[in-house]
Structure 1
Amino acid sequence: MKASSAPHESPLRIGDRNLDVMKPRVRDWLLANLAEAKSVVDVRIATPSSAGVANETLFVSTVTSHGDGPRYVFRLQGEEHLYPNADITFHARVTCEVGRRSAVPVPRIFGIEDDPSIIGSRFMVMDWVEGRVPPDVPNYHRAGWLKDLPPAEQEGIWRDCVEKMAALHAMDPANFEFLKEMAITTGQRPDQGRSGLQAVLQYWDNYAVWCGANQTEIIEYARNWLWSNAPRDRPDAFSWGDARLPNTIVRDGVCVAILDWDMVSLAGPEADLAWWALADHKHTVTQGIDRLPGIGSPAETIRLWELFSGRPVRDLDWFLVFTAYRQALITFRLFSLSYTGDALEPDFLTAPGIGFQWLASLLDLELPGPLTMPFLSLEL
């Protein structure tokens, strides 16, 4: 669904966000496009205290002639910093389809604005979902509201989020065939008849070319290994992508929204379970930090998922390598965005991130830098 533009003046550039300048433009857009906002007389705009790098988010609170009005979330089109060809229209479509095809809670999408001159970029407007997000920076295992809860309440949240994730995986993949056509860096499209797993492998191959990591020996080795050892005859199934607690909203002990489709695909649930495991290890055992007592280990998460889904996990060893490959590429891209030297690869690999270290551990490869975050058994 697309909404018409509200009147506006000079454009704003991404990175030049002046909230005072944006306020009347946001108010006018709401007045012009949302019936429920007809009585809005003013808006207040805030930005998240901790946000990802793939997109910008604005929290918009409205004021009406009668007091506080509806609240909204504006997600702004990124500049392709972390993911190539990122498109808010794609995110909106995934969100709407998940809401339509399942009981998994997602925010309501009110509209998409294609005119970048209003607030400096294209944007979509979502419903404000009341609740709290498990913190990412610092991670919830270190500090924050989730850490402060009794273990029994932590466990209830973890179990509910895993159950919601299993419900995502149970959706009919035929309704998400468009995920195979997600834009990739070379302008190619997956061949007709390719599986969801083959399509997402092709996407990440092209991501490696786009960010320059394909020139790294360990990335090229992992790429060839993944294609040569890819599981055969796997049915397509939905994969959330960035499957982590910080991509949920929690209220009264339950997950009331699942967020973030930057890495969504039809790679299947094992892709999410492996990603969940890496995210867990990244913030606990590799840093010597105790996991919250109510949050299950990766092995316990997998067993709980099997209980909810009614089937065992398959091909997890392959998906652990695939997860490390994706994490390594993302870390390489993040490092390159902030690097100012002449030789990225040698400097980068003297202090490699967890993705590269897991690849080295899982594939028995050597890195020039120390192996400080190796893969540790999931103890399944």
Structure 2
Amino acid sequence: MAILNTLDEASAKTALETWLARMLPAADDVAISDLSIPQSAGMSMTTILFGASWTENGNSVTAELVARVAPPQPGVFMDPDLEKEFTLLSSLAERTALAVPKALWYEKDPAVLGSEFVVFERAHGDVPPDDPPYVLEGWVLDLEPNRRGALYDRAVDVVAEVAAVDWQALGLGELLDKPQYGPTGIDQQLGYWEDFYRWASRDGKSSPTVEAALQWAKANKPEGEDLTLNWGDARIGNIMYRPDDLSVAAVLDWEMACIASPEMDLGWLILLVRYYSEGIGVPIPDGLPDGQALIAAWERATGRAARHVAFYEAFAALRLSIIMVRAGNLLISVGAFPADHPMPVSNPASQLLATLLDLPAPQGELASYVEAR
């Protein structure tokens, strides 16, 4: 669910038709068809699915496309940068075997759709849903347990492939670096997420749990780690699977990509399993792994011995809790939640964070963004 989606399908169709004609100067009869704006496609960006057709050199051409549109006002993330994401995905598509969406155009002019956007070739497959969570209903539960487990086998393989990318040869260090927050790695990540939290809580509720966890993380940060490319939002809900064999059709949502310890993606992957089980009060479905199984699979796939996993699982819970502080305060500010709503402080991520670090439980009833539907 895109919290700040202000687009309607009719105006988006007209705008994209005019824009695409400019992008294809040799084309005639450019037309947009079958445009839709899914309301369940993530919190941070608006997704537009559409078909396109045109005539070029006397030949008819058709394409299935996806636009990913940044929010026109400050959204869930502090510093969305679709141009950076476009550059990253273009580099990965051209120079690695990762199944990333093919990025076709980046548009920075907000006059077209109200904000910057990227257009990709559309991939086809099934994505485990967040709303309602895939552990409660949907196609994942319809799979036999052994096939269900294959979803995480593929996810671990993706995480290992990402960690193996020669990020220096691809120039990704300069692209993803945020030197204002400290040296590349955990120091930079801690500086960035502390600043994110200050921004997220500035005009709304603050979280004592997050504040205590930030101090813990700074006092317990690992030293002397390897640096690899991290996907950032490493979870099966950001993988599109082909329904016939559950192979990976596309690896999605790279806005949290960074250069850091390889265990950072592992910690996020483990935390999201816990989020969609313990966090929401349901058992892990048969066939899906727990944290220990994920660690073993990751070690086999990467050829590494996993280090500092407890730290990076807690750091994942901290980062997700900060995102939920922002999402909750944003939903309150736009009137989707009342002013006293507990989501910024008490949500599945912050409750897990408190459990992992033996902190006092966050105050207030457990709440999440799903209530804003």
TM-score using structure 1 length: 0.83
Question: Structure 1 CA distance, aligned partners of 2:344 and 2:185?
Answer: 35
Question: Structure 1 CA distance, aligned partners of 2:35 and 2:5?
Answer: 16
Please state if 1:211 is matched with 2:200. Answer: yes
Please state if 1:267 is matched with 2:263. Answer: no
Q: Determine the structure 2 residue equivalent to 1:74.
A: 67
Please state if 1:236 is matched with 2:232. Answer: no
Once the 2 structures are TM-superposed, how far is the Cα of residue 360 of structure 1 from its aligned partner?
A: 2.2
Is this contact kept in 1: 2:326–2:344, CA < 8 A?
no
Q: Determine the structure 2 residue equivalent to 1:357.
A: 351
Please tell me the residue identity of whatever aligns with 1:211.
Answer: A
Once the 2 structures are TM-superposed, how far is the Cα of residue 180 of structure 1 from its aligned partner?
A: 4.7
Question: Structure 2 CA distance, aligned partners of 1:362 and 1:67?
Answer: 58
Is this contact kept in 1: 2:351–2:362, CA < 8 A?
no
Secondary structure class of the residue paired with 2:249: strand
Q: Determine the structure 1 residue equivalent to 2:288.
A: 295
Please tell me the residue identity of whatever aligns with 2:195.
Answer: N
Q: 1:258 to 1:37 in 2, by over 3 A?
A: farther
Question: Structure 2 CA distance, aligned partners of 1:215 and 1:244?
Answer: 27
Deviations 1:181-211 (A, max 9, x none): 34xxxxx8234xx132211111101001111
Please tell me the residue identity of whatever aligns with 1:177.
Answer: G
TM-score using structure 2 length: 0.84
Once the 2 structures are TM-superposed, how far is the Cα of residue 349 of structure 1 from its aligned partner?
A: 8.1
Q: 2:304 aligns with which of 305, 308, 311?
A: 311
Q: Determine the structure 2 residue equivalent to 1:248.
A: 239
Q: Which moved more, 1:198-207 or 1:140-149?
A: 140-149
Q: 1:345 to 1:328 in 2, by over 3 A?
A: farther
Question: Structure 2 CA distance, aligned partners of 1:307 and 1:46?
Answer: 41
Aligned Cα root-mean-square deviation (Å):
2.9
Q: 1:216 to 1:282 in 2, by over 3 A?
A: closer
Count of residues in correspondence between the two structures: 351
Identify unmatched segments of 5+ residues in structure 2.
368-373
Q: Determine the structure 1 residue equivalent to 2:50.
A: 60
Secondary structure class of the residue paired with 2:106: strand
Question: Structure 2 CA distance, aligned partners of 1:338 and 1:88?
Answer: 23
Please tell me the residue identity of whatever aligns with 1:348.
Answer: P
Identify unmatched segments of 5+ residues in structure 1.
1-13, 183-187, 374-380
Please state if 1:199 is matched with 2:188. Answer: yes
Q: Determine the structure 2 residue equivalent to 1:127.
A: 121
Q: Determine the structure 2 residue equivalent to 1:109.
A: 103
Q: Determine the structure 2 residue equivalent to 1:335.
A: 328
Please state if 1:45 is matched with 2:41. Answer: no
Q: 1:141 to 1:363 in 2, by over 3 A?
A: closer
Once the 2 structures are TM-superposed, how far is the Cα of residue 368 of structure 1 from its aligned partner?
A: 5.6
Once the 2 structures are TM-superposed, how far is the Cα of residue 153 of structure 1 from its aligned partner?
A: 2.3
Question: Structure 2 CA distance, aligned partners of 1:350 and 1:234?
Answer: 32
Please state if 1:164 is matched with 2:158. Answer: yes
Q: Determine the structure 2 residue equivalent to 1:220.
A: 211
Q: Determine the structure 1 residue equivalent to 2:87.
A: 93
Deviations 1:288-310 (A, max 9, x none): 42323232222212211111111
Is this contact kept in 2: 1:180–1:200, CA < 8 A?
no
* Aligned-pair identity (%): 27
Is this contact kept in 1: 2:207–2:325, CA < 8 A?
no
